[in-house]
Chain A
């Protein structure tokens, strides 16, 4: 026979102060964990949205990032002759020679300035980023000395908003449009014409990287092998997705610290939950005796107290998720250790993360509730009835 759940809920409600305090303790633990997970999840989503699985990023062999890569213009021409490169509906080859550099933008929070990527690309390069959509202003016109900026850049740095001039290279660059690239890391970049930007930096012949789209996964694999085998090119090829995934390392220190903190906090919270549950058991000694007299078995007492602890923890877990929810979509920046430029992304409190938070809370409740529940079940009927 099972003790009805409402018995546990009522008990928790009667001792509302204690319940609330214990639950809040668990809530804060869960909030820390959810916050850390939301940070890494946000970064991962952003990187995932940036890479297209069929896109191949070609860099100098051994270069760990686009920033450190040099691709001569001649290599690009040679590379375009390889089979397996997709075409746009207009029949243009999907291959973009690009030059990457970084500039420092300042705002009120960052007086020292933060490094932001500037990418010069070919019209094909823009076409290959299907998720880029102009939200204000107009698109850049190939060959002109002008730039479009990602929406995060425009929002974070007033000096790079629509209509402003950004100063870099050999002069000023008018911002003619702001684009939205979904959740992609491109939102934190400034885009302009390849030749205009390259000539400002004296790099017209030595550019950074090439982005190509393969026709299908098989072609992608073949293209990768052929390009890497070509000694004259001397390039390394990786899928764009893999390239961005490798940059996840930037978040490792915070992720490690956050997780460690959440685990130690969880130990603390489960001690507190245990305390609360032991107090509940000792105060309800007579009640337990009564229940036993009524015919409830030791097993059902054990289950009942265990469930009460889980319910308490679940309440804490929900509270903790609610505490962490305001973080959702909050924009933050982290710098990539491979490029040393800022990646702007937003926290993402996704359903799986909320589920993880709840499971974590239940775990705390289970650890905190097991021993007290056992001690409740082991009570002798007579002694517990006599205790007042």
Chain B
């Protein structure tokens, strides 16, 4: 087959415009498909947890994320078997500068400052900055991702006007922590916010983060926490950090069906486009195939030549598609949507391979019928063929 390679390539490029359009068309669909598969993979298949995050549980009100818990739950949770540490994690929301500019929307949480780096040992920060943050009641720490986006530096003042909470906070950046993913958050002292709040708001909190004693203790601790508050006025739901992250996805609607539905439509489109082109180009060449056969090319060789040409076109489309997908993934990573998996989206080697295989397979499948028919046509018929 290898010695036929120049001929295959020549054939593929014979009608340059058509090949280009086909490659472009396959590329567009395949690029999208690659992005959708990457999203599906990141959301539903990939194990995103790290040894540190696997030890963490998030507690929220069973009713909904917008429903609060009494702050006193924290003390009770600490004494539950399997729990090593409990920290308040309160979504602050609020407005930073012009809220309409999407860039200014990032996550802000109030926490127990002294516990922050115990519960999140994977948030790396220098000891000096950590101490500065602990000392300053109005201090805050921010993730390296946020620094990259906003150019914040230590000593900067950040003013947050509350919306959920009727309070305005004047914060000073005291430290910057680094982390691979989920690094665009701001944390500040819960006590500082509490001081400025009216009575009804002082003793409620949206979430607690629990650090389990060991990986083996995680599941049991979650069950015991929920059990402890069962039939109380504020029942809890305790889930792993990953499950908590994923629950946000479900708010977007049926994301799984959305991804599967569109991927199916794309795959089908790919097949159509590719099959159409190959059918056209084979039909134009029936006589030529007849001539090749008279020269002594066997049916199998002719079949192989056409199939290889189509696979080559498919693969070229695949490469273009992967280039497009790379660009789209980069774009998605910079969306202001607060969703951790999106911020860290990559084209996994597995996905790349899958797309290339798919591209080749589409080329193969789409040309099989026209190639088989053309190669199987009796020579005399083929020579006489007039389209």
Interface residues of A (CB under 8 A from B): 17-18, 21-22, 24-25, 28-29, 31-32, 35, 39, 60-65, 67-68, 70, 101-104, 112, 115, 201-202, 206, 250-251, 253-254, 257-258, 261, 264-265, 267-269, 271-272, 274-276, 278-279, 283, 332-337, 339-341, 388
B253 touches A279 (CB 8 A): no
Which of B57-65, B77-85, B355-363 contacts the other chain?
B57-65
Greatest chain B CB density within 10 A among A101, A104, A202, A335 is at A335
A104-B63, A268-B28, A272-B273 given; 14 more Cβ-contact pairs under 8 Å: A18-B276, A21-B276, A24-B268, A24-B272, A29-B269, A102-B63, A254-B252, A264-B31, A272-B25, A274-B21, A276-B280, A283-B387, A334-B252, A340-B64
B157 to chain A, nearest CB (A): 22
Nearest 7 A/B pairs, CB to CB: A268-B28, A335-B251, A271-B25, A334-B253, A21-B276, A115-B64, A102-B64
B20 to chain A, nearest CB (A): 9
| B60 (CB) vs chain A CBs: closest residue | A340
A277 to chain B, nearest CB (A): 10
Task: List chain B residues, Cβ under 8 A from A65.
Answer: 66
B66 touches A67 (CB 8 A): yes
B308 to chain A, nearest CB (A): 20
Q: A102-B66, A115-B63, A264-B28 are in contact. Are A62 and B162 (CB under 8 A)?
A: yes
B25 touches A268 (CB 8 A): yes
Task: List chain A residues, Cβ under 8 A from B28.
Answer: 264-265, 267-268, 271
A35–B387 Cα distance when bound, in Å, is: 40
| B257 (CB) vs chain A CBs: closest residue | A332
Task: List chain A residues, Cβ under 8 A from B25.
Answer: 268-269, 271-272, 275
Q: A102-B66, A115-B63 are in contact. Are A265 and B32 (CB under 8 A)?
A: yes
A201–B252 Cα distance when bound, in Å, is: 29
Interface residues of B (CB under 8 A from A): 17-18, 21-22, 24-29, 31-32, 62-67, 93, 162-164, 166, 200, 233, 247, 250-255, 258, 261-262, 265-266, 268-269, 272-273, 275-277, 279-280, 324, 337, 386-387
Q: A25-B272, A103-B63, A339-B66 are in contact. Are A18 and B252 (CB under 8 A)?
A: no
Task: List chain B residues, Cβ under 8 A from A276.
Answer: 276, 280
Task: List chain B residues, Cβ under 8 A from A112.
Answer: 247, 250
Q: A101-B63, A269-B25, A339-B66 are in contact. Are A278 and B18 (CB under 8 A)?
A: yes
Task: List chain A residues, Cβ under 8 A from B251.
Answer: 250, 334-337, 340
B58 to chain A, nearest CB (A): 14
B6 to chain A, nearest CB (A): 25
A32 touches B265 (CB 8 A): yes
25 A–B contacts, CB within 8 A, in A order = A24-B268, A28-B266, A28-B269, A60-B166, A63-B163, A67-B64, A104-B62, A112-B247, A115-B64, A201-B233, A253-B337, A264-B28, A265-B32, A267-B24, A268-B26, A268-B269, A272-B21, A275-B273, A275-B276, A278-B18, A283-B387, A334-B252, A335-B251, A335-B252, A335-B253
